Amino acid sequence: MYVISKSDFEREIKSKSLAYITNRYLFDNFPYCFKDNPDLYYEFRENICDNFNIHPKNFCVGGSGKIGFSLNSNN
C-alpha cells in the first residue's frame, strides 16, 4: 500500500496532471481506512458488491477514506 502525506499530496497536485492524481490516489491503490486490516476490506467489498450486484472491479473507496486525509482544502 502506498501512503502519501497531505503535504506531499499538495505538492503532487501542483506538479502532476489531473489524470495522474485521479488514477494514482483516488482509483488505484489500497484504501487507507483499511490499511491495518486488508481482510476486512475484501470482506466489506464483497458484501457491498453482493448486495448491489456489482463486480468488485466496479467498486472503490474514495475521498478521505481512500487517501487518509480530507480533500477539502479548508481542513
| pLDDT of residue 5 exceeding 70 | yes
Q: What percent of the chain has pLDDT over 90?
A: 44
Nearest Cα neighbor of 30 from 20, 19, 42 is 42
Domain ranges of the chain: 6-67
For residue 49, the tally of other CB atoms under 10 A from its CB is 15
Residues in the chain: 75
Q: What's the predicted TM-score (pTM) here?
A: 0.68
Nearest Cα neighbor of 22 from 37, 32, 12, 34 is 12
State pLDDT tens for residues 22-51. Answer: 888 777 778 889 989 989 999 999 999 999
Query: Distances from the Cα of 16 to the Cαs of 9, 12, 47, in angstroms?
Result: 10, 6, 35
For residue 69, the tally of other CB atoms under 10 A from its CB is 15
Q: Compare 32 and 74 and report the one with higher pLDDT.
A: 32
